[in-house]
Structures are given as C-alpha cells and as structure tokens.
Homo-oligomer: A and B are copies of this chain.
Amino acid sequence: MDQISFTPKPDQFTYTFGGNRAVSVVKPGSILTLWSEDAFLGNLFKAEHKWTDRVRPGYVNPQTGPFYVEGAEPGDTLALHFVSIEPSRDWGVSTLSPLFGGLTSTDSTASLQAPLEQRTWIYQLDRAARTLRFEPRGGGRNIELPIDPMLGTVAVAPAFSEVRSSLVPGPFGGNMDLPALRAGATLFLGVNVDGALFSIGDGHLRQGEGEACGTAVEGAVTTTLIVGLIRGKSTPFPRLEDDSQWASIGSARPLEDAWRIAQLDLVRWFEDLLQMDAMDTYQFLSQATKARVGNIVNPNYSMMVSVGKAALPNVYAYEGAHNELRRQAASLKTA
C-alpha cells in the first residue's frame, strides 16, 4: 500500500469543489496523511482579531486536495475511511461573523436588523486531558469541553460540471459539518468525474449539532485516511458507516428537505440490504432511526439519518467495505 503525506503550500489550497487540478494522483488502497488548515487559513489566532479584517470573502474553508484516484469513474463509489483526525496546533478558534449563523438574519433569510456584534474566541487545547477551554469574553466562568475532532468538509467534484464553493454541502459531500465524521468512520461518496477529485478540510476540534453560531471550534488538523474504491456501484447521496451505525446524509433547504433526502435514501438502501419492500422498510426505519443535525447555517443545511447496528446482525453494506477498512486501519496502528 502507498503511504503518502501531504501538507499544502500556501498557494496550493483550493476553495471550490470541482474546478481545480489534482494536487496528486493516488491509487485505491493508498493511505494518506494530510494536513489541513483551519477555516480561516490560520489568520484568526487572537481574541482581538476580527473576521472582517483578516478573512477575504471567498477564501474560507481552504481544502487540502483535490486528489485524483486512479481508476475512479462516474458510477463508482469512493469509500474514505478516517483512521485518525488530530489537532495540529494547541488551540482552536471560533467567531461570530456578520450575518452568518443560525440565530441571526443572513444574506438569504434577510432582515433590516443590525448584525450581531463580531467576536472571536480562542480555545486552548489541553492535549493530556483532551479538553478545550472556553473563555467567555464578557465575564463569567471558564468551561472545559472534551475535544471531539472531525472534518467539516469532505467532498468529491460535483456532477454536471458544476463548481461549488467550499462552504456548500450537497450530493457530492462538501461542507456537511457532521460531528459523526470523526476517526473510525467511513464516508461513501458517489464518483461524478474521472478520478473522483476528492478533498478534505475545515477541521473542527469539536462542534455542537447545528453549528449554531456558524463556526465550530475550528482547527488545523492532521488526518490519516485510507482511500477505498468500490467499482460499479453508485451512491446517490453521501453515506456514513462506523462501528455502531449506518447513515445517509441530506443537504438542502428548508431543513426538512435535508431530512427527507436522508430518510428516503436510507429506505432505498435498506430495502436492498434487508430484502424488504419499501413500505416495510419505511415502517421499520421509522421506529429505529436517529436524525442528527449537521449544520443549520450553510447555503444548504445538513442532516444525517442513521440506524443502529445492534438490531441488525449479519447485515453488511457495500459488501463489508467498512469492516475491511477498519481491519486495515487496525493493522496500521499496530505496525
């Protein structure tokens, strides 16, 4: 297996899904260790820093990639297994940015009200305790929160020659901002273009469900992942599997449509896996699924609908691809 490490140079970051040349060609089965910058390109590192002073519009969520996967073709599925996602620095950052977030009017949920105050918070990381320290700016107690590193953004190039900002989630993955996208998970993405052209970015040291204020505890992270490729099987919407659950991911507005996409995709998927008809699968999943919010702040909102593995022994999705990738990941760690 190829093992590749890659740290982008400043001019190598990309800011769209699609529309960029591959930074590297990788073989299926490769193990990549990738450094990714935080959502603000590392430009906000003091509580005094302001988003509007130090971030250029359009230059948010820098991506590491895209990578061209040899042999990946439209109609295939990319299976990215995340072996580890670890903070690269000893701090993370979050902000209130003008007219961005869930409890403010925005460019599209538009109002005449004045924007909220801008504010920036630096969270110090205690590596030993694996906690982040929240320090209120206006007075009050500090609060320690456990880290739970994840990637806000994992994407392939979109279909139909579209190029989307790295702020957008969709059928191609993208800025889904799902806490479940942590180490131990496998993300399945349908391939739209030769080589798939996947990228990652927007590391979060932790994030609440919904990403209410618009930003998580953003951090540079180092990700080790295994590139799986499943030929001849298409995947219409992003799917996630870890050791306890299978999940489908929808991204749309209004939020109920994100849920509808995910819930329907899970029904279609499990009709096949359980060999049940659509109405029985719909019924069973109605009693068994969890519905988890990713973000309610991006150009599309995201939800993940999942079903636990406990009630369904001997069910294997994608012919057990996740389990196989887990085994490879385990062998890496012991190697």
Cross-interface CB contact of A18 among B163, B287, B293, cutoff 8 Å: B163
- Any chain B CB within 8 A of the CB of A42? no
Name A160-178 residues within 8 Å CB distance of B: 160-165
Contact A210–B291 (Cβ < 8 Å): yes
Which B residues lie within 8 Å of A102 (CB)? Answer: 256, 259-260, 263
Contact A164–B165 (Cβ < 8 Å): no
Q: How far is the CB of A127 from chain B (nearest CB, A)?
A: 18
Contact B279–A96 (Cβ < 8 Å): yes
- Any chain B CB within 8 A of the CB of A16? yes
- Any chain B CB within 8 A of the CB of A330? no
Contact B110–A113 (Cβ < 8 Å): no
Contact size class for A? 35 or more
A288-319 interface bits toward B, Cβ cutoff 8 Å, 1 = contact, 0 = none: 11111100100001000100000110000000
Of A65-73, A201-209, A227-235, the one contacting chain B is A201-209
CB-CB nearest in chain B for A161:
B16
Q: How far is the CB of A61 from chain B (nearest CB, A)?
A: 11
- Any chain B CB within 8 A of the CB of A36? no
Contact A279–B117 (Cβ < 8 Å): yes
Cross-interface CB contact of A159 among B19, B58, B305, cutoff 8 Å: B58
Contact A94–B287 (Cβ < 8 Å): yes
Contact A293–B291 (Cβ < 8 Å): yes
Interface centre among A57, A104, A250, A254 (most CB of B within 10 A): A254
Which B residues lie within 8 Å of A138 (CB)? Answer: 276-277, 279-280
Q: How far is the CB of A262 from chain B (nearest CB, A)?
A: 9
Which B residues lie within 8 Å of A58 (CB)? Answer: 159-161
- Any chain B CB within 8 A of the CB of A26? no
Which B residues lie within 8 Å of A144 (CB)? Answer: 311
Contact A16–B213 (Cβ < 8 Å): no
Q: How far is the CB of A248 from chain B (nearest CB, A)?
A: 11
A248-282 interface bits toward B, Cβ cutoff 8 Å, 1 = contact, 0 = none: 00101111110111011001000000111111101
Q: How far is the CB of A51 from chain B (nearest CB, A)?
A: 13
Contact B108–A252 (Cβ < 8 Å): yes
Which B residues lie within 8 Å of A57 (CB)? Answer: 160
Interface centre among A145, A210, A216, A311 (most CB of B within 10 A): A210
Interchain CA distance A209-B247 in the complex, whole Å: 13
- Any chain B CB within 8 A of the CB of A125? no
Q: How far is the CB of A104 from chain B (nearest CB, A)?
A: 5
- Any chain B CB within 8 A of the CB of A7? no
Contact B259–A137 (Cβ < 8 Å): no
Interchain CA distance A277-B260 in the complex, whole Å: 30
Contact A111–B121 (Cβ < 8 Å): no
Chosen A-B contacts, 27 in total, with CB atoms closer than 8 Å, are A96-B279, A103-B260, A103-B282, A104-B111, A107-B261, A108-B252, A110-B264, A112-B267, A114-B114, A119-B279, A134-B287, A137-B279, A143-B311, A144-B311, A162-B162, A162-B164, A208-B288, A208-B290, A209-B292, A211-B286, A212-B285, A213-B286, A214-B286, A216-B286, A253-B256, A254-B256, A291-B292
